Amino acid sequence: MKNSYLTMIVFTIFTISFCSKTQAQKQSRVERLYQHIAWSEGDKYDRLREKMDTKSMDAYKNEITLADALRQLLLTPGINAIEPYLKSDMAIQQQDGGARLRSFCQAANLNVNLFRHKADSTIFALLVYSKDQLEDSRTVLAQIKKYAYNIDPDIYEAIVRLKEKVQYADLKAQPTQAKCDTYFKDFHNQYNYVEVAQIYNDLLYRAALDKQNDSTILCYFNDTTLKTFYANSKEPRPYLTEVQKLYDDCLFKAIQTATSPEVQKHCINAYIECPYLAGCNRRYLPQVEYANDSIDLVILVSQVDFFSTPPANQNLPSNT
């Protein structure tokens, strides 16, 4: 009986020792992966990675996935390598806040923060030399937000400034209303916001000038971004007087071309009550006020005539 107990104890100690040794070997392989990355040894990394057994990959799945992403980003950098890195870093943070990774790096005499700094710097460098800086910087900033990546604040600000620089240059070279709207959303009251507001105001004025109708003119008057901007500005809004004159003409033309007295009455009311023409010199106001005084009579007469006219083809009683 005593021999059996002794055998069990020895076997248990041996098993624990063997498992601990095996676990240490697995961990050592992962540590070596990060060493090869730190020393820019891509070929050695690849050979070791090919020899990784399934149990090691299962036990340290997140750390190995991050190592693969770092190897690609730091040793063979490209725009497409950024998202896998950000995604794998999020998995590490969700796992244990990066505690086990820090332990691996410490055991291998590596600084985990150095990996992050190199990754952040590489991401910025890729964007600086990108052939499509605007689209790539926009994509990367969205990915940083999506994966809650804690990027270096200075590098993040540098990416934002890079995006703003190319975005503003593109907008200035080929301005459109859509580009201005996007700029306002991306950089509220920052950088070249004032210049973009002026460009946007010019675009709305030209649109109202090219197509003089309710739609284009009201876009100029009702744009909330510019209304707020010029309400807080010391300078008057450019082209406001010109657009008011255009709308004065537009509303008066609607009165002239009305197809019925009722429609004309509606157009007259729209002209007299128009808030956008308040305080400006209305060229047609005397004529409109005169028409307003007479249109009610026209409508009243038409209504009296309608009710006093007997129905057509009415069968009158015959004298018998």
CA distance linking residue 221 with residue 242, whole number of Å: 12
Cβ partners under 8 Å of residue 195, min gap 6: 168, 172
Residue 113, domain member (yes or no): no
Q: What is the pLDDT of residue 310?
A: 58
Q: Note whether residue 87 is domain-resident.
A: no
Residues contacting 38, CB < 8 A, separation 6+: 110, 114, 115
Q: Last residue of a domain, which of 233, 252, 274? A: 233
Residue 88 near residue 65 (C-beta atoms within 8 A): yes
**What are the 10-residue block averages of pLDDT along the chain, 320 residues in total?**
52 41 63 96 96 89 97 98 98 96 93 96 98 97 98 98 98 98 95 97 97 94 96 94 96 92 91 92 92 75 56 50
In a domain, 212, yes or no: yes
Which of 207, 233, 259 lies at the terminal end of a domain, its last residue? 233
The structure tokens listed for 139 are 């994509």
- Distance separating the N- and C-terminal Cα atoms of the chain: 140
- Dmax (CA) for the chain in angstroms is 141
Can you tell me which residue has the tokens 């509303």? 251
* Predicted TM-score (pTM) of this structure: 0.80
110: left (phi over 0), alpha (psi -120 to 50) or beta: beta
| Residue 298, domain member (yes or no) | yes
User: Is residue 251 domain-shared with residue 295, that is, in the same domain?
Assistant: yes
- The tally of domains found in the chain comes to 2
Does the residue 200 lie in any domain? yes
Among 210, 233, 256, identify where a domain stops.
233
Q: Residue 55 has what pLDDT?
A: 87
Q: State the residue range of the domain holding 256.
A: 239-305
In a domain, 143, yes or no: no
Burial 184-221 (b: 16+ CB within 10 A, else e): beebeeebbbeebbebbbebbbebbeeeeeeebbeebb
Predicted local confidence at residue 312, as pLDDT: 54
Same domain, 254 and 201: no
The answer to whether residues 211 and 248 belong to one domain is no
Do 179 and 194 reside in the same domain of the chain?
yes
Decide if 260 is inside a domain: yes
Residues 193 and 226 in one domain: yes
Q: What pLDDT score was predicted for residue 19? A: 41
pLDDT at position 294 is: 82
Q: Is there a single domain that holds both residue 258 and residue 297?
A: yes
Q: Is the residue at 270 inside a domain?
A: yes
> Are residues 222 and 191 both part of a single domain?
yes
